[in-house]
Structure 1
Amino acid sequence: MKGVKIFFPAFITVLAMQLNVWAQSKTREAALDFKDEYYNPDYFRYDNFIYSNKIKTVQLFPANNELGAPVIHLGSSEQLHLHFDEEEHQFTQYAYTLIRCDWKWFPVDQLPMEYLNGYAEDYIYNYSFSVNTSVPYTHYELKFPTENMQLKLSGNYVLIVYEKNKENPILTRRFSICEPIADLKANIHQATIVEFMDFKQEVDFSLFLGNLNVTDPYNELKITIQQNNRTDNKVMELKPIFVKGNELVYDQERLNLFWGNNEFRDLNITNHRNYYDYTEKIYLDDSGLYHVFLKPQYSRSFLKYTSKPDINGNYVVNRENALRDKNTEADYVYVHFILKNDFPITNGQVYVFGTLSDWQAKDDFKMKYNYDKQQYECTVLLKQGYYNYMFGVLEDNKKEFDFSYFEGSHWQTNNQYQIDVYFVPNFNKTKYQLILSKTLPSN
């Protein structure tokens, strides 16, 4: 089903100036205290975030790769696909715009006309109503870049989706445009430092710049490393230990260490009537909604490592035996998570964590302690599909999750690492380029 198509006027300078002023004002807002403001839905952030409680199951991925990182190549025909649901059978005319950010995800002081060809904003036209679901919803889909809006520069971008006013978005998503000038050879292995050998993984690599002329590689090359799309433990500010012509060697032994953690726990609700090994019970409530209760889970922190396949904390929407479109036939199900623990943690909170929570400490995924049953509990409304998750502890006044408490940590764990390389010229930092984005398995 298609929405009513509304044509935009030609791109005008006034609109560009308004967008730039708006972006700068949001930068000032970003300086507000993280702890008090970040999870307030009225606080804008250049991050993956949902601002409306009606919006569910937001996904952004490359075409034909639902598990892929949202990165495409500059000047190619590649597209990113955005999917999201709104909890009602009613079409809303949503629009979107793109903001270019620097390598640290702060907005760049540029007019949209400097990084976009065509419109500065456009509408989302494609939508469909859910079919035979107990929770009615409208599914929206956007494929971009489009003929109306093309990107001219590589780098980091934030997609903003809104209804009437871009200052009040319904969602934001990060993505990147890469111009692959450089290359690298990586070696991800057991930590070299003895005290971390059993628990951590070390990411070493050599970077090859090809014909790129970099006069100050120690300051003009910015490296970021992400583990399984997480941002809370991202490694930044790495410097090469030595330079050999156009080859730079990054072998730090300490600064490039990550906790190996454990293989993810899994949840399959593609058929919400099926019982799996981890299913305790399933029932249909009086309002016609399905509830899936999982068997109580226990800490794995003292168990030996066991290899098992997973999708590195991600999820895939699916409904078993869907007739036409899984995106509109998959239903929503209440999933009840239970984590046994003899006593509550006094210096932090426990969360269900993964792509299902946007890798963030969201209230919907915060577990509450039941003193009578000596267990943590959390109930989440999820769309049918296959999910990975872990139980993470976020200690007070910290931003990085600790998974060792309930999941343990092993150097053998299969993780996925994304290495991004930015060239940021000293003379003009807005002219930066994302010259490499590479995803690598740990084993």
Structure 2
Amino acid sequence: MQNVKQIIFALVFTSFLMGQELKEKAPPNHIGTIIFQAEEQIENTPIVELGKAFTLSFDDLNADEAYYYYTIQHANADWTASELFKSEYINGFDEVRIRNMSNSSATLQSYTHYALSIPNRDTEIISSGNYVLSVFDDKQELVFTKRFVVYEQQANVQVGVFRLRDLEGIDSKQRIEIGVQTAKINTRQPDQEISVWALQNYRWSSARKIPKYDYVMNQSLRFEYDNNLIFEGGNEYLFFDTKDIRSAGGNVAYIRRENLYQSILYPNYVRNGTVYTYAPDINGNFVIQTTEGFNPNTDADYTEVTFRLRSSETNYDFYVTGLFNQHLPQPVHKLEYDSANNLHQLTIRLKQGVYNYKYIAIGSAGQLFENGVGGSYWETENEYLALVYMRKFGDRYDRLIGVGIGNSRQIQN
């Protein structure tokens, strides 16, 4: 009976999603440290080659060994649900319980660690394209979702990073150029069958479609002049290091011990309007590490991290963001103003490791200022991802036939 309910629920849920953009849903407070690890990719890079394995892991801070289930939804290039039946993109089935779970070991914060690896005995992805993996609890309530893409190695894709041609924005923006080799793909109408999307530092909120190629040279579609190829440079991410939970350092000013260890970070300052300063970062990512154990999945503890932003500005709301909250800041990530110390501060619980983060500002009317605190500079190191899709006449979904990566470390004039 339970299986029948799950099947009916999945059918209704999939029908409901048709035509809607499948966005990432942030997890509740008791779910932490969501990590997507694809084979042969840097941790938390949401791209995986068709036929290769990936693992999604997370922690439940309720530590009650709750049951969680997963579903996988195929999407079009614009992240609307595709028309494919599940049997057309999955060999086997989903709506299965995540069986791999283990409890934390000798930590002040108890938690249960879950890990889902695909392919597994129940599920194998057999089609390329965009995907959304959804995690549900045993009450069939949606807990969180995670976007990722599965690609075929059909088209060779090059991405170059350049300074702007125009003087307006030349000091704060970067421009990319994309080349798509068509020698190995059979397309007679590339302007109708090929679509290209680009994003910065793997942030889905930065993704934009490049409408059409500008010209063809040596069997390569060249995308060079569209305004959607221009991105704000932003600034290098801030960072902190809590691998050693008992010691300051790594931008941790001092440590306190209450129920958990508390890591108080040095105050940050508004960098917008200042001179650019290079500081190596991992483009908003985080890496779980600990000096107190051998397996960071279950040996790393959680610490209360206090962020502090030195500013007297009260006309904007400030939030802390990074991949640790999927670049989806919630009300719990909003800094509160401390007038006595003339700073905004926030404390959140994070697992030990090395983290990148930044501050964003939101105005009273809800307008987002992504780089209002950190500023935007052409020199900033950013990584750009180009996604190339093909949908031939009569096809019912967008195949992801190639990906390309470029970095502004090699920025050209």
Deviation (angstroms), 1:65: 4.3
Task: Give the one of 344, 357, 361 matched to 2:325.
Answer: 357
1:401-440, aligned counterparts within 5 Å? 401-403=369-371, 405-428=372-395, 430-440=396-406
Task: Give the one of 313, 325, 337 matched to 2:307.
Answer: 337
- Cα contact 1:267–1:386 (8 A) shared by 2: yes
Give yes or no for the alignment of 1:58 onto 2:64.
no
Q: SS at the partner of 1:25?
A: helix
Residue 77 of structure 2 corresponds to 103
Give yes or no for the alignment of 1:25 onto 2:10.
no
What TM-score does the superposition give when structure 2 sets the normalisation length?
0.91
Residues 163-206 of structure 1, C-alpha deviations (whole Å, 9 max, x = no match): 3354x122211111111211122220212211111111100122
Residue 96 of structure 2 corresponds to 122
- Cα contact 2:18–2:82 (8 A) shared by 1: no
Cα distance change on mapping 1:138 and 1:17 into 2, 3 Å: closer
| Residue type at the aligned position of 2:298 | T
| Residue type at the aligned position of 2:402 | L
- Cα contact 2:37–2:54 (8 A) shared by 1: yes
Return 5+ residue gaps in structure 1 as ranges.
Answer: 1-7, 31-44
Q: SS at the partner of 2:268?
A: coil
- Cα contact 1:233–1:400 (8 A) shared by 2: no
Cα distance change on mapping 1:341 and 1:289 into 2, 3 Å: same
Task: Give the one of 249, 252, 270 matched to 1:299.
Answer: 270
- Cα contact 2:292–2:300 (8 A) shared by 1: no
What TM-score does the superposition give when structure 1 sets the normalisation length?
0.86
Cα distance in 2 between the residues matched to 1:130 and 1:361: 26
Q: Aligned-pair RMSD on alpha carbons?
A: 2.4
Cα distance in 2 between the residues matched to 1:314 and 1:218: 35
Q: SS at the partner of 1:100?
A: strand
Q: SS at the partner of 1:181?
A: coil
| Residue type at the aligned position of 1:329 | D
Return 5+ residue gaps in structure 2 as ranges.
Answer: none
Cα distance change on mapping 1:398 and 1:212 into 2, 3 Å: farther
Q: Please say which of residues 383-392 and 202-211 is displaced more in the overlay.
A: 202-211
Cα distance in 2 between the residues matched to 1:292 and 1:79: 35
1:41-440, aligned counterparts within 5 Å? 46-63=22-39, 65-74=41-50, 76=51, 78-166=52-140, 168-244=141-217, 246-252=219-225, 254-276=227-249, 278-285=251-258, 288-322=259-293, 324-344=294-314, 346=315, 348-395=316-363, 401-403=369-371, 405-428=372-395, 430-440=396-406
- Cα contact 1:370–1:376 (8 A) shared by 2: yes
| Residue type at the aligned position of 2:305 | V
Q: Sequence identity, in percent?
A: 26
Cα distance in 2 between the residues matched to 1:355 and 1:395: 22
Cα distance in 2 between the residues matched to 1:397 and 1:105: 27
- Cα contact 1:17–1:111 (8 A) shared by 2: no
Cα distance in 2 between the residues matched to 1:398 and 1:177: 34
Cα distance in 2 between the residues matched to 1:357 and 1:394: 17
